[in-house]
Amino acid sequence: MSFFGQKVLPAIRKLEDLEKMLASSYEYGVLLEMHISRLRGIYALAQKHDKKLFLHMDLVQGLKNDEYATEYVCQEIKPYGVISTKGNVIIKAKQKGVKTVQRVFLLDSSSLEKSYSLIERTQPDHIEVLPGLMPRVIREVREQTKREIFAGGLIETVEEVEQAIAAGASAITTSKKELWKYFQPER
């Protein structure tokens, strides 16, 4: 299983990471921790290189992560998709026709149950499970929600990527360049 032929979604934390991703054969990635003033230029550059980037709304610097900011970003920046832990952000992005990823932190059985309720309410296109080192939970969330799962957080080895994929994750979100290089899709 993979997300459009990618086992890894490169997570971009700084401009040097963006340059590496743009020069790679990856088509899809995740933009993290960028200042709002850089988004328009980054997305224009990504479009020029035929790259599709999910924007992690909770980590945009200089922008509140609420439905108003989401509406602005969807209309003005036009990301491929948005990622958020906030239900109102996911709902607004869906209304604007943008792909959505509901990010959930699974710390215990209570957080898992609350996440199921949130997912039922928001109906995201994809779910990102953190930490991504829980094959049994990845399998359970995929079966319970019938949605594509991204696994992220604390995944550091090729074996951990393969275990998450084998458990039902479509892709792994990671900022580890070694994993980007190892799993780079064929051109």
Tell me the pLDDT tens digit for each residue of 142-154. Answer: 999 999 999 999 9
Res 187: pLDDT: 76
Res 150: pLDDT: 98
Indicate whether 1 pLDDT > 90.
no
Euclidean distance between CA atoms 71 and 77, whole angstroms:
10
β-bridge pairing 52-56 and 28-31? parallel
Which of 173, 134, 183 is CA-nearest to residue 31?
Answer: 173
Say if CB 158 and CB 121 are below 8 A apart.
Answer: no
Say if CB 104 and CB 129 are below 8 A apart.
Answer: yes
Domain residue limits, the chain: 8-182
Euclidean distance between CA atoms 85 and 98, whole angstroms:
16
Res 157: pLDDT: 98
Q: What is the pTM of this model?
A: 0.97
Tell me the pLDDT tens digit for each residue of 66-106. Answer: 999 999 999 999 999 999 999 999 999 999 999 999 999 99
CATH class held by domain 8-182: alpha beta
Q: What is the mean pLDDT of residues 30-37?
A: 96
Res 125: pLDDT: 98
Unique residue bearing structure tokens 């609350």: 114
Tell me the pLDDT tens digit for each residue of 115-170. Answer: 999 999 999 999 999 999 999 999 999 999 999 999 999 999 999 999 999 999 99
Say if CB 10 and CB 29 are below 8 A apart.
Answer: yes
